[in-house]
Amino acid sequence: MEVGVSTRDVQQFDGDAVAVGVFSDDAEVQGPAATLDKAMAGVISQLRASGEITGTAGEVTLIHTLGKIEPERVAILGLGPRKRFTADRVRRAAAIASRALRKAGAKRVGLALAWAESGVNLAQAARAAAEGALLGLYAFDVYKAKKNGGNGGNEGACKEIEALTILGRGREPALRSAVERGRILAEATNFARDLGNEPPNVLSPEELANRARRMAEETGLECEIFGQKEMEKQGMGALLGVAQGSEREPRFIILRWRGGRKGEPGPAFVGKGITFDTGGISIKPAEGMQAMKMDMCGGAAVIGAMRAIALLKPAINVTGIVPTTENMPGGNAYRPGDILRASNGKTIEIVNTDAEGRLILADALSYAVKHQHTPIVDAATLTGACVIALGHVRAGLYSNDETLQRAIMAASETAGEKYWPMPMDEEYEAQIASEVADVKQTGGRPAGSITAAKVLENFVAETPWAHMDIAGVNDSEKRDAASDPGATGFAVRTFAELAMQLADRNGTSAR
């Protein structure tokens, strides 16, 4: 799909359909909607007055223009109250509009959702509109003869939007670069969603590494991949412990973007890459286990973010690290009671083989510390406890550094992803004290997501570090107006935005 911009007036848009917004608390229709209203003999204000259009967030009303203007169809989007208008509202409205118009068969769609009013500036709104549309139109249907696109899989022919135009006021170059940024971020997110949605028979650790390498070749990232032998040489005993129950070999994926000063290590982004989590010997219940094909979504987010970074070209060096393996039961699987030694030398007493994520991250974080990366940020579908704490709305954020935590909260807000800071008091450490090793793998049920973060903290030394537990937000079960169910690509945009903000702070002298 082509993505473009236009600063022309909305009634001059020459595609098949155009979307405009209305606020729920405006007495009269305003902005681009008012322009169209005039061109169409007041039909929008009439629907508004009759209560058929209320402007409630999420509302979408399709009307035929019957030749009064160039586009055949107009979609009127509810934007909610003007005073609670945010970029996120634009993102969602753009997703809903483009899905509804795709379903209606529109091929060339204009979104007039970017205009500098109501506290959201033009660039933010334009970026959010592009992001929302591309995220909303995403479908994972490579294994289906009947495609999902736009018709819920009921028709053979797939309806696709061919060209998307973001209509906005203001300077065209500014509009264009905002839309381009939105496009890159959304496509990187969709790349990560593809990885998450792939079935686990296809997406083995080796295949995940192949896809990362192919992406790196396409975008100009450096890529290094360790196999089992190299991991043994590096003493990655925690990762290898988890991997030993699987017939498939583990991989350790490293992606490097060099946009900064030579020799400066820069930040590392680390992601959990369990391509399937059975729980191992501490096996999970059968019900719902298929969702554990998505236990590599932290890793996918890192790979997706590195793709976005390669295209956005921030003036900073960034390294992406993804340890990847299956967690399987088997004759050679690791056991509760085992003691594993991570590559930083610390030993871990295993109590539950289902708590495997922290083990593979232990070696990845140790690698990041050894190579002097700072700050270190990881993303992982780490604990069910985080899902209990925060549900499917926010990811948990755990950090040893307040400045970094604030930077991530700020980046996530721009990115349109929600996190919530969790406590890291040292009192929690009592739960993971071991009689026989340096640290116990799990701290029992109380505060399970915090004690998991506390285990990780053992492997970051003094480096400023943050951990993002995305177990509740990586997978969306509900089919709603804005998105298909499946992998969400959560954390891609926060990682990419953070890299951009760190680059800005790092000065612009690099390139």
User: Do residues 335 and 327 touch, judged by C-beta distance below 8 A?
Assistant: no
Q: Which stretch binds Zn ion (CB under 5 A): 106-114, 154-162, 182-190, 294-302?
A: 294-302
Identity of the residue, 187 or 475, whose beta carbon is nearer to ligand BES in the bound complex: 475
Give the residue among 314, 302, 321 at the shortest CA–CA distance from 492: 302
* Min dist. Cβ of residue 188 to ligand BES (A): 22
* Residue 385 binding: pick among ligand BES, Zn ion, none (C-beta 5-8 Å cut-off by kind): ligand BES
Distances (CA, A) of 185 to 133, 219, 309, 463: 12, 14, 9, 28
Active site residue 313: no
Give the residue among 33, 37, 18 at the shortest CA–CA distance from 117: 33
Measure the CA–CA gap between 227 and 170, rounded to whole angstroms: 52
- Would you state the structure tokens that stand for residue 368, as one six-digit string? 């990041």
* Residue 387 binding: pick among Zn ion, ligand BES, none (C-beta 5-8 Å cut-off by kind): ligand BES
* Residue 326 binding: pick among Zn ion, ligand BES, none (C-beta 5-8 Å cut-off by kind): none
Q: What are phi and psi of 442, to 5 degrees?
A: -135, 160
- Would you state the structure tokens that stand for residue 475, as one six-digit string? 């997978």
Measure the CA–CA gap between 431 and 29, rounded to whole angstroms: 59
User: Do residues 3 and 179 touch, judged by C-beta distance below 8 A?
Assistant: yes
* Min dist. Cβ of residue 474 to ligand BES (A): 7
Identity of the residue, 327 or 412, whose beta carbon is nearer to Zn ion in the bound complex: 327
Helix (H, G, I), strand (E, B) or coil at 418: coil
Active site residue 284: yes
* Min dist. Cβ of residue 285 to Zn ion (A): 12
Identity of the residue, 209 or 359, whose beta carbon is nearer to ligand BES in the bound complex: 359
* Residue 384 binding: pick among ligand BES, Zn ion, none (C-beta 5-8 Å cut-off by kind): ligand BES
Give the residue among 457, 463, 473 at the shortest CA–CA distance from 419: 473
469 binds Zn ion, rule: CB under 5 A: no
* Min dist. Cβ of residue 274 to Zn ion (A): 5
207 binds Zn ion, rule: CB under 5 A: no
Identity of the residue, 15 or 489, whose beta carbon is nearer to ligand BES in the bound complex: 489
42: CB partners within 8 A, 6+ apart: none
Distance, C-alpha 34 to centroid of its chain = 35
Identity of the residue, 277 or 417, whose beta carbon is nearer to ligand BES in the bound complex: 277
Distance, C-alpha 320 to centroid of its chain = 15
Identity of the residue, 471 or 502, whose beta carbon is nearer to ligand BES in the bound complex: 471
* Residue 442 binding: pick among Zn ion, ligand BES, none (C-beta 5-8 Å cut-off by kind): ligand BES
Q: Which stretch binds Zn ion (CB under 5 A): 276-284, 424-432, 447-455, 479-487?
A: 276-284
Q: Of 89, 91, 358, 493, which is the active-site residue?
A: 358
Give the residue among 184, 57, 85 at the shortest CA–CA distance from 127: 184
Q: What are phi and psi of 134, to 5 degrees?
A: -70, -35
End-to-end CA distance of the chain: 32
Helix, strand, coil % in the chain, rounded to nearest 5: 40, 20, 40
Q: What are phi and psi of 422, to 5 degrees?
A: -115, 155
Q: Using CB under 5 A, pick the residue from 194, 354, 378, 469 that binds Zn ion.
A: 354
295 binds Zn ion, rule: CB under 5 A: yes
Distance, C-alpha 309 to centroid of its chain = 14
Distances (CA, A) of 146 to 141, 153, 155, 157: 8, 6, 7, 7
* Min dist. Cβ of residue 284 to ligand BES (A): 7
Identity of the residue, 108 or 358, whose beta carbon is nearer to ligand BES in the bound complex: 358
326 binds Zn ion, rule: CB under 5 A: no
Q: Which residue is nearest to ligand BES (CB)?
A: 384
User: Do residues 93 and 21 touch, judged by C-beta distance below 8 A?
Assistant: yes
One-letter amino acid of 16: D
Identity of the residue, 387 or 461, whose beta carbon is nearer to ligand BES in the bound complex: 387
In the DSSP assignment, the letter for residue 291 is: G
* Min dist. Cβ of residue 275 to ligand BES (A): 12
* Residue 177 binding: pick among Zn ion, ligand BES, none (C-beta 5-8 Å cut-off by kind): none
* Min dist. Cβ of residue 274 to ligand BES (A): 6
277 binds Zn ion, rule: CB under 5 A: yes
Interface contacts to ligand BES, rule CB under 6 A: 277, 295, 352, 354-357, 381-385, 387, 442, 448, 471
| Count of helices and strands (H, E) across the chain | 14, 20
* Min dist. Cβ of residue 357 to ligand BES (A): 5
378 binds Zn ion, rule: CB under 5 A: no
Q: Of 84, 147, 248, 284, which is the active-site residue?
A: 284
Residues involved in catalysis: 284, 358
Q: Which residues bind Zn ion (CB under 5 A)?
A: 274, 277, 295, 354, 356-357
